[in-house]
Amino acid sequence: MLFDTHMHADFSCDAKMTLPEAAAAAKAAGIGIILTEHWDRYYPTNPDQFLFDLDTYFRQNTPWRSDKVLLGLEVGMQPAAAAEDNKIIKQYPFDEIVASMHCVQGKDIYEERAYDGLSKNEAVEELLRDTLTCLELYKDFDTLGHIDYISRYMPYEDQELYYADHAALWDQVFTKLAGADKALEINTRRLDKPQAVDSLRVLAGRFRELGGRYVTLGSDAHYTEHVGRRLEVAAALAAECDLTIVYFRERQRIIAHA
Ligand SMILES: [Zn+2]
Ligand SMILES: [Zn+2]
C-alpha cells in the first residue's frame, strides 16, 4: 500500500481538516497516511503559531492510530531550535519525522520580503547552505521534506530549481542524506507542472547517484481533497530514478508497494 507521508490537520493552524476526515479520504483512495503537523520553533513572524501541546496531540489522535493511520511530525529546522527539537523528537512516540526548511537565516521564506536584495541564485544558495548547517544539527529524522518548497514562493520569473546552478551544494546535501541512510521526500504539491517534475527528476536522480536509496511521497495536504493527491506521479518519478518508496512506522522504515 502507498502512504501519503506528509499532511496537516487539527494541530496545524493553517489546515482545514481533522484527522478522522483525512483518514476517511485516505481509506476512499486506498492509501495509508502519516499525519505530520507543523512544529516550527522560533518561527520569525509568530513564534507560537506552529507549536502545540504534544501530550494533547497523542491523547486526541491515538484512538485513530492504526497500521494505516500513523502519527508523525514535520519539524521546521533552524539552528537555534535544534537542541530543543531533538529532545521532543526523542521524547514522544512518533511514527515518522519529516525534517523541513521553512526558514532561512531567520527569515520565513514563505514571505516575499525574505528575498529582498537577493538574486534567485543567492536565495537558493542561502537555502542550501542553511540546509547543510541544519543537517549537522538534526540527525534524528526520517525524511527531508519538500526540497522544492522555495519554488512555491520565491518571487522570480523562473521558480524552478536547477541542479546545475548549485551542483556542489546539492551534492553535499544528498551525500549527507544518503550517508545517514535518510529518505528524500518527493512532495506532490507542484507535480502538476511538467517543469517541476523535470527539475525534481534531476535532483532525485542525483540523490540516487550519490548513494540515496529511499523516497517518501507526501502531498502536504491541508484539505481532504488533497490527501493522496498526485501520489501516482511521484511514484512514477521514484521508479524512473530507481528509488525505493518507503514510509515509517514507529520510526522504522517500511517498503511501500504500489
Ligand atoms: Zn513544510
Ligand atoms: Zn507540511
Domain ranges of the chain: 3-255
For 3-255, CATH gives 3.20.20.140
The rounded Å distance from CA 102 to ligand 1 centre is 6
To which residue does cell 501516482 refer? 232
The pTM of the full predicted model, rounded to 2 decimals, is: 0.98
Residue 90: count other Cβ atoms within 10 Å of its Cβ.
Answer: 9
| 47 confidence band (pLDDT: 50, 70, 90) | confident
- Alpha carbon of 255 to ligand 1 centroid (Å): 23
Confidence at 248, pLDDT banded by 50, 70, 90: very high
Instruction: Give the whole-angstrom CA distance, residue 97 versus residue 37.
Output: 10
Give the number of the ligand closest to the Cα of residue 145.
Answer: 1
Task: Measure the CA–CA gap between 144 and 131, rounded to whole angstroms.
Answer: 10
Expressed in angstroms and rounded, the spacing between residue 218 Cα and the centre of ligand 1 is 10
Residues 15 and 41: beta-carbon distance below 8 Å: no
Residue reference for cell 548513494: 211
Ligand number, closest to the Cα atom of 99: 1
Looking at the chain, the whole-number percentage of residues with pLDDT higher than 70 is 100
SS3 content of the chain, % helix, strand, coil (to 5): 40, 20, 40
Long-range contacts formed by 86-95: CB under 8 A, 24+ apart: 86/137, 86/138, 86/139, 86/140, 88/39, 88/54, 89/140, 89/141, 90/140, 91/54, 92/54, 92/58, 93/58, 93/250, 94/251, 95/34, 95/70, 95/71, 95/248, 95/249, 95/250, 95/251
Residue 180 has pLDDT above 80, yes or no: yes
Report the amino acid identity of residue 119. S
Assigned C-alpha cell, 147: 526540497
Average pLDDT (218-231) is 97
Ligand 1 center from residue 94 Cα (angstroms):
17
Percent of the chain whose pLDDT exceeds 90: 97
Checking if the pLDDT of 103 tops 90, the result is yes
Strands 3-4 and 32-39, by their bridges, are parallel
**pLDDT value at position 146?**
98
Q: What is d(CA 68, CA 6) in angstroms, rounded to the nearest whole number?
A: 13
* For range 190-208, the mean pLDDT: 98
Q: Please state whether beta strands 183-187 and 214-218 pair in parallel, antiparallel, or not at all (unpaired).
A: parallel
**pLDDT band at residue 48 using 50, 70 and 90 as cut-offs:** confident
Nearest ligand (C-alpha, residue 221): 2
